[in-house]
Amino acid sequence: RLLMIRHYNLFSLRGAGHCGRVFRKVFCATPEGQAPPRHPRWMGVEPQNTPQPSSASTGLLEAAYQRITAAWVSSAQQLGCMDVHVLGEGDVDTEVLDPAHAVLKLNSGHTIPVVGLGVYLCEPGAQAYEAVLSALRLGYRHIDTAQVYGNESDVGRAVRDSGIPRKDIFVTSKLSIRNWGKSRAQAAIDESLKKLGLDYIDLFLLHAPGSLDTRAETWAVLESYHRQGKLRSIGVSNFGVVHLEKLAQTAQVTPAVNQIELHPFLQWPRLVQYCQSKDIIVEAYSPLAKGQKLDDPTVKQLAQKLNVTPAQLLIRWGIQKGFVSLPKSTVPARQEVNLNVFSITIPDDDMATLDGLEADFVTGWDPIRDAPV
């Protein structure tokens, strides 16, 4: 087997003050014949034809593992770090450096990567295809599309061309409100599966509360496809508390997620609390407020203090809140920056400062308030 050691670099800590924060070390052994988890900085580094280790080499690796663990624990103690966490087999941690391993568990039993690429307003065709392919090569494992975006086919083609096993990529799409009602919803879901070229979709959402007259029967269609395994998880988008309560009166399956516009300037505290109380994961679209708050003085000041970009600060805020974040970019360099948030920790006092930026700042449509109950 190949021993993989991932760690924070002692010499890259941003000032002595950071030595007192939680200092995580991750040690994991990758089974023989399997590629190690990919990180953007590891692109192009793939083990080939990993040999079967001898018992002697296995023993040496185990001894090395113990020595390295002891050395890092000793170093961390000398630096005055509060905690050293060595992950064991089967552990899941949302603060590892490898973005493919940063996941949350859905109420459906499946897991969802905490950072995904949103493809809203990605032009169908070359732009959407190249954006998704670039993101997957950089380490993204979660792509969020929708029927109304018109780029499901491009997303599916990029997923296939990436060479990454299908099971390792989480794909979300959404049912357009134009396709509500039993027969229309069935045809539209089948069409999404066909356009994506997939046997199943990992997460499928009602894109908005839509019409009360057909909401219950449309959700029942999603439940049916969920039971068939064609939709691994199902959820909603842009639903307020009253919409969720109304849906619960007839639903047999609780939504796995509620995807809403969410960032420090629009926090929906009552809605978030309700979703969390019902085991509904909250997904944040437009986590960068469509770029309109990247120059906010408080955001810029905190980003400079933590030596991160304003975008990384806003994405990391959502992750530490327990949200799934869906930043959108077609530029590979920005995609990589947006994904590299797993070695960042925002201190509690700075999180409180960001929490104080609430301004009910809606950048797009507002069906949470406007859609009929």
- 195: part of which helix (H) or strand (E)? helix 182-196
Active-site residue identified among 140, 149, 225, 274: 149
Q: What is the DSSP letter of 122?
A: P
**Is 285 a residue of the active site?**
no
Cα–Cα nearest to 287, from 256, 252, 327, 316:
327
- Tell me how many degrees the CA angle 262-266-269 measures, rounded to the nearest 5: 85
By the 10 Å C-beta count (0-12 exposed, 13-18 middle, 19+ buried), 243 is classed as buried
Burial 1-12 (b: 16+ CB within 10 A, else e): ebeeebebeeee
Q: Which residues are catalytic?
A: 149
